[in-house]
Every structure is written in C-alpha cells, then in structure tokens.
Amino acid sequence: MAVTDSLGFQCALITGGGGGIGKALAKYLVSKGKKVLIAGRTESNLKSSVEETGAAGYYVLDTGKVDDIPPFIAKITKEHPELDCLVNNAAVQRPLNFLEDADFLSKADQELDINIRGPMHLVVGLLPHFRQKPEGAVIINVSSILGFIPISIVNPVYNGTKAFLHLWSMNLRTQLRQGGTKIRVVEIAPPSVGTDLHRDREDPDDNKKHKNPSALTVEEFMDEITVKLERGDEMITAGLGNEVVRKWYEAYGGQYGKAEAGGK
C-alpha cells in the first residue's frame, strides 16, 4: 500500500504502548487511519491499551532483554510485513543516588538496557526490513529535554540515556540520509508530561500540573506535537522544551551541519 499522507507510513510499532505517551500516540495514529501495534512488559496494560486505542494488537516484550529482540523482529515482520514505522518510546526513569543506593549498579544497568540498548537493537534489527520498503519508513525516537539539560538531578542515569538517544538520533538520521535510504528519523523530546513515568519517585505525581504548573497534560502535549509530526518536522518538542531545544540547536546546530556536510 502506498503512503498517502504527511506522516509517511502505514503501520507503526510503539514500544511502551501500555500507557502514557505511548498509549496516547497509539490512539492518535489509529485516529489517522494507521495500523498500530503496541509492545510492552505488562500484558494487562497492553490489553487495556488495545481496547481503549483501537490498536490492531500487542506483543509482550521487555526491550531491556535484547536477546529477545531478534526473534521478536522475525515474528512481527512475518505477521505484519506492512510494518514501516518504529516508535522507540519505552523507557524507565529511576531516582538514583551515587552515595546512598547500594543497588545503584543493578538499577542503572536495567535503565541502560531499556533506554539505550533496546532502541538501538530494535532499529538495527529492523533496518533490513525497512530498507525494502519502496515508499520508505519512519523511525521515531522519544528522548527528553533532560537529554539536552540534565536538570533532574535525581535521575543521573535517565538523563544520560536521553542524551544518548538525542545524539544517536542525529547521527542515525545523517547516516541513513547519506546512505541513500528513504528512512526518516524523527526525534520527539518531551518536557515534563503528566504520565506515570515518575512512579518510582517519593512523590509520583510531581510531574502533574497540580504539583508542577509548567508540566503539560498528556492532552496538551499531544495537541502540540501532532501538528509538528504532520508537518514533517524531524525534531519535535513542546511546552518548555521549545526554548531548550531552540537554544541547543542555536549553539551547536551549525557546527553539526558543517560536519554533516563534510560527510564525516
């Protein structure tokens, strides 16, 4: 089936689709006539999300267990060969203290696996499938403005993983473009959004508007980013993120553009 709209794909896989931003993206894409498949660690949440969003199906997958990713890719591409979009949304955010947490390393390792290795293994594993798509494909990586400025001091590992995802997305985009593929790379960098991402914090509601007036509700976030997604933007943020991202690119975008033009 040919792609006939500005989104540039027909069938999307959304990781972390059982709640929060992933669930909201699923509902939005279904409303746009897209086939949506969701993946996540908790089957009960996935079942509820399918019912509420109209997604076509779900897969139980812990993206932090990268050995499970190759057989998962083989399965989903066989069952849904039309798959032409990956949304790397699954992530965990842990409050960690270098001086106080005896289990720092075990928690940090899991966070690194889910937030970095999972997205990377999914992208690399799906590239051969995506490259066969005559109309191209889309990779959407969900980072965070904390990857631009790590102001959430209690989340030292999360901040670093999102900085990785931001910088990695830039290089991925450039290499795929310079390599002549039709695969677009889009980055969405949310500010504080009222999801359950802070469930491990002392106050799990400190990203909700009644506790943080600068935070966006999920609905406010989606209203802003979907306009940019449909416009074809490759770097997307919302709310307070607009100033953060603008200043970052004003400081470093030109220098990166020169490196990109040099093909290095």
pLDDT digits (tens, 9 = 90+) for 47-61: 999 999 999 999 999
Query: Which residues are catalytically annotated?
Result: 158
Provide the edge-to-edge strand list for the sheet that holds 183-189.
57-60, 35-40, 11-15, 85-88, 137-142, 183-189, 235-237
Give the C-alpha distances (Å, rounded to integers) separating 246 from 77, 189, 240, 251.
37, 12, 10, 9
- What SS3 state is found at 71? helix
User: What is the model's pLDDT at position 197?
Assistant: 46
Q: Where are the extended beta strands (E) located within 26-112?
A: 35-40, 57-60, 85-88
The pLDDT, as a whole number, for residue 4 is: 53
- For 145-201, write each residue's pLDDT tens digit: 999 999 999 999 999 999 999 999 999 999 999 999 999 999 999 999 975 544 454
Antiparallel, parallel or unpaired: β 137-142 and 35-40: unpaired
H or E element at residue 173: helix 156-178
The structure's pTM equals: 0.92
Distance from chain centroid for Cα 219: 17
pLDDT tens, residue order, the chain (264 aa): 454 578 999 999 999 999 999 999 999 999 999 999 999 999 999 999 999 999 999 999 999 999 999 999 999 999 999 999 999 999 999 999 999 999 999 999 999 999 999 999 999 999 999 999 999 999 999 999 999 999 999 999 999 999 999 999 999 999 999 999 999 999 999 999 975 544 454 544 555 445 566 789 999 999 999 999 999 999 999 999 999 999 999 999 999 999 999 865
Size of the chain, expressed as the number of residues it contains: 264
DSSP 66: G
Strands 85-88 and 137-142 turn out to be parallel
